[in-house]
Amino acid sequence: MRSLVRTGLASAGRALLVLAALLGALVASGAGAQERSARAVIEQLDAAYLDVMKSAEALGYAGRFAKLEPVLSKTFDFAAMARLSVGGRWKDLTPAQQAKLAQTFGRLSVATYAGRFTGYSGERFEITGEEPSAQGTVLVRTRVVIPEKEPVQLDYRLRPGPEGWRVIDVFMNGTVSELALRRSEYSAVLDRDGFDGLIAALDQKIAEFATKPATPASS
C-alpha cells in the first residue's frame, strides 16, 4: 500500500514538474515576444512590402492584395484604428456598424498598399530608431530609401496587447498622422451622408484601387 502511495506521489510530482516547465516556457516565450516584438513587427512588415514590390507586376493587384492581407491583419490593429478614425462617434454606432467599419477599414488599408506597391526600383526599408511614446505605446521610426530620390520617413506607433505589438497609427514624414487625416475626412462624410454613406465611400475607394492602381509609393 505504501509502495502504491509513493508511486502515485512520484507520478504526480513528475506531472507537476512537467506542467511547471511548460508554463515556464510559455511565459518566457511570451515575455521574449513582447520584449522584441515592436521592432520585429515592423521588420516583418517591411520584408513583406519589399517582397510584394519585387514581384508586383507578376502578382497583379489581386495577388498583391492576397499576399498583403494576412500580414497587415496581423500587424495593424484595424479595429482600434477604425474606432480612432471616427473618435467619439464610435459610441453612437451599433455593434454591427462598428464591426462593419473595422472590416471595411482593414480592406481599404490593404487595398491602399496593394495599389501603391506596383513595382520595384531598388528601394529598401531601414529602421532608424525605436522609442517610448504616449500611453504605453512605442514609436518605431523607419525610412524608405529610394535610389536618386530623398528618403521617405515612415514612423509607426504600436501598442501592446494580447496578440503582441500592433500598429495603431502611421506618420508620414514623421509628422502627418494617418488617423488624424482619416478622422477629418470620415467626420465630414458622416455629417453629410451618415454611416451608410461612409461605408459606400470607403467601398468606392477600394474599387478604385482594384481597377486603377494609385501611383507607386516611391514616386
Domains of the chain (ranges plus CATH)? Answer: 2-211 (3.10.450.710)
Strands (E), the chain: 124-132, 138-145, 152-161, 164-172, 176-177
pLDDT at res. 37? 77
Over the stretch 82-128, which tens digit does the pLDDT of each residue have?
Answer: 999 999 999 999 999 999 999 999 999 999 999 999 999 999 999 99
Which residue, among 122, 75, 131, 134, has the nearest Cα to 142 in the 3D structure? 131
- Residue 118 near residue 213, CB atoms below 8 Å: yes
Average pLDDT over residues 177-187: 93
Query: pLDDT grade, residue 35 (50/70/90)?
Result: low
Nearest-10 crossing angle of helices 95-116, 56-75? 140
- Residue 38 near residue 140, CB atoms below 8 Å: yes
Residues 6+ apart with CB under 8 A from 187: 86, 87, 89
67 pLDDT exceeds 90? yes
30 pLDDT exceeds 50? no
Q: Cα dist. 193→50, 95, 198, 200 in Å? A: 38, 20, 7, 10
Distance (Å, rounded) from C-alpha 111 to C-alpha 208? 9
What percent of the chain has pLDDT above 90? 74
Instruction: Kindly state the DSSP code that residue 76 receives in the 8-state scheme.
Output: B
Amino acid at 39: R
User: Which own/partner contact pairs does 146-154 have at CB distance under 8 Å and 24+ positions apart?
Assistant: 146/121, 146/122, 146/218, 147/121, 147/122, 147/123, 149/218, 152/217, 152/218
132 pLDDT exceeds 50? yes
Distance (Å, rounded) from C-alpha 108 to C-alpha 202? 7
Distance (Å, rounded) from C-alpha 32 to C-alpha 27? 8
Query: pLDDT grade, residue 175 (50/70/90)?
Result: confident
151 pLDDT exceeds 50? yes
Question: Which residue reads 461612409 in cell numbers?
Answer: 198
Average pLDDT over residues 4-33: 39
Which residue, among 219, 202, 183, 194, has the nearest Cα to 88 in the 3D structure? 183
Distance (Å, rounded) from C-alpha 128 to C-alpha 140? 8
Query: pLDDT grade, residue 145 (50/70/90)?
Result: very high
Residue 129, SS3 per DSSP: strand
The cell for 41 is 513587427
Amino acid at 82: A
